[in-house]
Every structure is written in structure tokens, then in C-alpha cells.
Structure 1
């Protein structure tokens, strides 16, 4: 039986596969929320990448939206962009779609391809911090490099 990779190992391998040099940092405290992550990383909440998982109501397609920690997703606006109403899947559906638990969903390294969109407000920062596959693991990255690595389409989320 093949040993399963840890979630953080999947993120590291995904980063290496696309030439994204990252260092995953395991924090002694939780980085599950944007506020907790900002405190742990010594940065602003705006520089935290919230990886939010949605599902299109009609098709059931999973969508990942990378959002600045200070922003809320305007679901009506996003539904207009994507052509479908969005639903919030439960924790089990998030794990089934991404391989990550809520609070540790990384922008790269999901177990299957996911349509990904990125909050344009993240691009105003030199460095952002994203979850690395667990509720206490993060990595720093330039938003441009994150956008390229994740294949995200840049959009306005609010």
C-alpha cells in the first residue's frame, strides 16, 4: 500500500512542479483565520490569502477563489462573472474536492484541477501569505508568482 502524502507535502511538490520557490513554515499557533494568520506571520490581514471554496449551483463544479484577508466575496457579482449562482460546500465536500481541510486550503496542490480566481486586491502587495495545506502551515510568495502558479484568473471579488 502506497503511503499517502501529507497535505503540506502536496503543496511543496506542486510548488516545485511549477517552479515556485517557497518555504513552508509550520507555526506553533493556528493560522486558520486571516486574523490568526496575520498575527502569526507578523503581517497585515490584507496580505493573507483566504482560499475560499465554492460550488456552482447548476453544474456542481468546484471553484477556488483566492481573496485578500480584508475582503468579502460578493457572491452576486462573482455569480454574474461565472454565469452561475455560488453555493458554499460543507467541510466534507471541501476536503473531497481539494484534499485540504477548511482553514488549511492551499491555493496550489489540490487533489484535482480546480477553476481558480484571484482577488485583484492581492496584487497591490509585494508579498502575501497563503495556507500550505494545514491549519498552522503557511508560505510567503509574491502575488504575481502565486497567480501564475495557481493559474488563477484575476477578478474583482467585491
Structure 2
């Protein structure tokens, strides 16, 4: 286990998260790669994405099957503008690299929203602070450990014909 993964594992233990960090020999560059490697649905991958929301960090934990609609999210959260953060901003806000950001283990708490679609899966897999590591958890546990708010990261689909 490398030092980033050990540090993340320690954080999970302090938060009383029972899931074990799983390390892979190679990086998991996409949610689809992670789902394939884990043998789970794409929607069960919990992507930890950092955005700038009115110049503050915002952690969006989104299902791998969803794209984050930043305009929808800004309206929902009452913010002027939400946009993708730069890799430098992500590292400064989380202490973790893009592609390896976990839902916890950051230098200070981040405002967090958790995609409601993740609740459709008994087990979801989230990043564990490194590009090659993930851990099993649940939607409810993600909300608990992050202090996050459950939201729809995409607007509801129109049901009109």
C-alpha cells in the first residue's frame, strides 16, 4: 500500500467506514474502466469531481452514468456559476490528484453534493485518494461521511413525447 492509500485508509477507519480499499496494478482512468475492472454497473461508480462554485471548491459525487449539468446544479444550489476546476485547484483543495480524488481525506471539509442516482445501487465504488485505488461504500454512507446533500446532478428527463 502506498502512503496516499494508507492515509486514505486511516481516514476511512476514523470515519468508521467498514469497506476495504482495493488497489489495482494500473490506474483506473475512467468510470467505465473502473466498472469493468470491478464487474459492476457504470452507475455504481461514484466519481468525486471538484468544481469551482462562485470561486469556492465544490465536491460533486456523481454516478459514473451521469454527466454533471453545471447550470442545473448552480440553479439548484443558488450559485452564480459552477465550472470544472483546474488540476492545480483540485490538488490544492483536496490534497489528491485528478483521477484519484476520494470523497473524504481532504485538508479541510468541502461543500459536497451526492448524486441521488447512486442510491439505486446497494454498493457503490468511490475513489480512495489515488488513481489506482477504490473502496466499496453505499449512497447513505457517502452522504454521512461527507456531510453532503443528496441532489440530482442532471435535470429530470422530460417525459413529453
Question: If the length of structure 2 is used for normalisation, what is the TM-score?
Answer: 0.89
> For residues 42 and 28 of structure 1, what CA distance do their matches in structure 2 show?
16
Residues 2-13 of structure 1 mapped to structure 2, 5 A cutoff: 6-13=3-10
- 1:98 partnered with 2:94: yes
Name structure 1 gaps, 5 residues minimum. Answer: none
Indicate yes or no: 2:46 matched with 1:35.
Answer: no
- What is the deviation of 1:82? 2.0
Which aligned runs of 4 or more in structure 1 are off by greater than 2 angstroms?
none
Q: 2:58 aligns to what?
A: 63
Return the offset for 1:108. 1.0
Tell me, what secondary structure is at the counterpart of 1:50?
A: strand
Q: How many residues align?
A: 152
Within 5 Å, which residues of 2 pair with 1:1-158? 6-57=3-54, 60-84=55-79, 85-158=81-154
CA RMSD of aligned residues (A): 1.3
Distance 1:46 1:153 in 2: 19
The 8 Å contact of residues 50 and 90 in structure 2, kept in 1 or not, is answered as yes
CA distance in 2, matches of 1:10, 1:132: 10
1:87 Cα deviation after fit = 1.8
Mapped partners of 1:70, 1:137: distance in 2: 19
Contact 1:49 1:128 in 2 (8 A): yes
**Structure 2 unmatched runs, 5+:** 155-161
Separation in 1 of the partners of 2:7 and 2:61?
A: 18
Q: CA offsets, 1:97-136, max 9 Å, x none?
A: 1001010000111121101100000011100001101111
